[in-house]
Amino acid sequence: MRKASIAIVALACLLSACASSNKSLLPNIQIMDTGVFPESIASASNGIVYSGSTKGVIYRALPGSSQATAWITHSEQNGLLSILGVLVDEKSNSLWVCSAPNFFGPELSKGVSSLKAFDLATAKLKGSFDFPEPASVCNDITIEADGAAYASDTTNGRIFRHRPGSSKIELVGADPLLVGIDGLAFTADGKFFVNNVRTNKIYRVALKPDGSMGSLTPIQLNDKLGGPDGMRLLRDNHLILSESGIGRLSIISIVGDKGVMKILREDLESSPGATVVGDTVYVVKSSIKYLLQPDLKGKEPPPAILYAVPLPK
């Protein structure tokens, strides 16, 4: 009888541990709308997840929720166009957003690319900063340790910066090698990295003492890239990278001029963005082919899903 009791207790403990483990697994998130086509996602330390969309709507999923619903919508006051990059900056209580003309048109297809900041608590517009000519695409955003927001201009190979308290953005630099620039990220030691979705490159960007752009150093990887897109800091010198061209999610560890990729998933469909929530990476399923392929245009795409992928321990 004693052995049977011990066995029952052990089984109960095992089941309890399993239940506890299951509770720690975050659910996939479905965006509760149609025709969303998210390009970027972001998260706060409390577990709230944000997503942009080509239709000028920012969606939000509360901590642990399996659904994201509309939070901020296009209005004359906020001037939102299609939303590409989104990034949370909790120090300034801001959600930074890349607003750009919808090159898939015609909805929200006219206007000027801009970097915008919204209040995380109230959703009110805090600031809007237009990109100077020529016509451009504000694509993604990262935050420097001092609070400056950096944004990429894919069309013209430019990097812009908004310093805290400033009423405008400034040009950090431009280079033909950066035509196609997409994701940006600072590592914990302050090194600045960008990727190019067209040429399948990652560069370390030197910043001069005056804040302008210096040299571009290509990072040698142990694998070929396929449309590097969203890029976020995981920790230290480790970056999360989503590749929209081949549907892959990886961790890249960068030491010096070399990077080693650890693949988390490589069976994704159109995965342009990722964000980290605790020990989970959320990665986008965008179904962008419904905007690109002639045989699919006009058809209803499947729901936009943010897949929860566990981080390796």
What pTM value is reported for the model? 0.91
C-alpha to C-alpha distance for 150 and 162, rounded to whole angstroms: 7
Q: Assess if residue 15 is contained within a domain.
A: no
Q: 305: helix, coil or strand?
A: strand
Low-confidence ranges of the chain (pLDDT < 70): 1-24, 105-108
pLDDT of residue 109: 74
Q: How many residues are there in the chain?
A: 313
Q: Assess if residue 26 is contained within a domain.
A: no
C-alpha to C-alpha distance for 284 and 273, rounded to whole angstroms: 6
pLDDT of residue 99: 97
| Nearest alpha carbon to residue 78 among 130, 119, 116, 120 | 116
The CATH number assigned to the domain holding 159 equals 2.120.10.30
pLDDT of residue 266: 95
Report the Cα–Cα distance between both ends of the chain, in Å, rounded.
39
Q: Assess if residue 114 is contained within a domain.
A: yes
- Is 241:230 a contact under the CB 8 Å cutoff? yes
Cβ of 25: how many Cβ atoms within 10 Å?
10
C-alpha to C-alpha distance for 89 and 144, rounded to whole angstroms: 10
Q: Assess if residue 8 is contained within a domain.
A: no
- Is 310:280 a contact under the CB 8 Å cutoff? yes
Q: Give Cα separations from 293 to 57, 58, 107, 289 (angstroms).
A: 23, 25, 18, 6
Q: Assess if residue 2 is contained within a domain.
A: no
Q: Assess if residue 170 is contained within a domain.
A: yes
Q: Assess if residue 14 is contained within a domain.
A: no
Q: Assess if residue 18 is contained within a domain.
A: no
- Is 43:277 a contact under the CB 8 Å cutoff? yes
- Is 180:157 a contact under the CB 8 Å cutoff? yes
Which tokens in the block code for residue 36? Answer: 């969303």
pLDDT of residue 18: 38
Domain span at 200: 33-310
- Is 129:162 a contact under the CB 8 Å cutoff? yes
Place of tokens 């990262």: 142
pLDDT of residue 14: 36
Number of domains in the chain: 1
